Amino acid sequence: MQNPDQQQQKPTITNTAHSIDYLGIKTLRSGHPEIRKRKQQQQGHSAHGNKVWRSSFVLMDYLTTYPPIISSKILDVGCGWGLTGIFLAQQYSARVTAIDIDPSVEPFLQLHASINKCSIAFQARGFESLTKDDFSAYDEIIAADICFWDEMVNPLFEFIGFALEAGVQRILIADPGRPPFWSLCDKCVESLDANIVTRRIYEPWKTEKFILIIENP
């Protein structure tokens, strides 16, 4: 594993009671009236996309150092509120499709896309439903906090293999270091020459995460 891969300068950040402005992306906190209104309108959620996950901010920070090619086609898997995809759309003109098994995340994703003045396509579907034809439409895949159960390891490994066969050039998966994530890393390092880096940020929270990097040879 590589040493922590972090930027030398802290990014500009503005914190208020109801929002965070980080790397040029405005994120609304749970107490913001618009977030509270959408949560009140929900009929419940089926997964875990009902809040901001810190791994997304760490992945955004990593992408400032290793960005995609401008106007790349990006698939954001298990997108939640879609902040990493929004960051790429706004900062690098990426054409982003965000997918999540939980359809109730879409209002939060579209709210954040709107306030950050960018456009994100959303599809309510799980990663297992994607075919090789679907993958052929994308240059890169990003994801954060998607490998949290042991039974997800093999399906995600197959998903990665199909994506590479279809021509996806890079896959990035960020995680706090759950045991299933490390099991996925082991399989990818052994079979796909993958790499894992540690990335630390200090704002808006001091946190350290791990990023699995798979590149198409």
Q: Which domains does the chain have, with CATH numbers?
A: 13-215 (3.40.50.150)
What local confidence, expressed as pLDDT, does residue 208 receive?
97
Supply the pTM of this predicted model.
Answer: 0.88
What local confidence, expressed as pLDDT, does residue 137 receive?
97
**Spatial strand order in the sheet of 95-100:** 121-124, 95-100, 73-77, 140-144, 170-175, 207-215, 195-201
**What backbone phi and psi angles, to 5 degrees, belong to 133?**
-65, -40
What local confidence, expressed as pLDDT, does residue 51 receive?
64
**Assigned token pair, 78:** 């298990």
Show the low-confidence residues of the chain (pLDDT under 70): 1-17, 43-51
* Cβ-based neighbours of 65, under 8 Å, separated by 6 or more: 5, 7
**Assigned token pair, 206:** 């001091």
**Assigned token pair, 4:** 């922590």
Q: Considering only CA atoms, which of 172, 154, 168, 175 is closest in space to residue 48?
A: 175
What local confidence, expressed as pLDDT, does residue 14 receive?
63
**Assigned token pair, 149:** 């159960």
What local confidence, expressed as pLDDT, does residue 12 receive?
53
Q: Is the peptide bond before 204 cis (omega within 30 degrees of 0)?
A: yes
What local confidence, expressed as pLDDT, does residue 113 receive?
96
What local confidence, expressed as pLDDT, does residue 56 receive?
95
**What backbone phi and psi angles, to 5 degrees, belong to 173?**
-130, 120
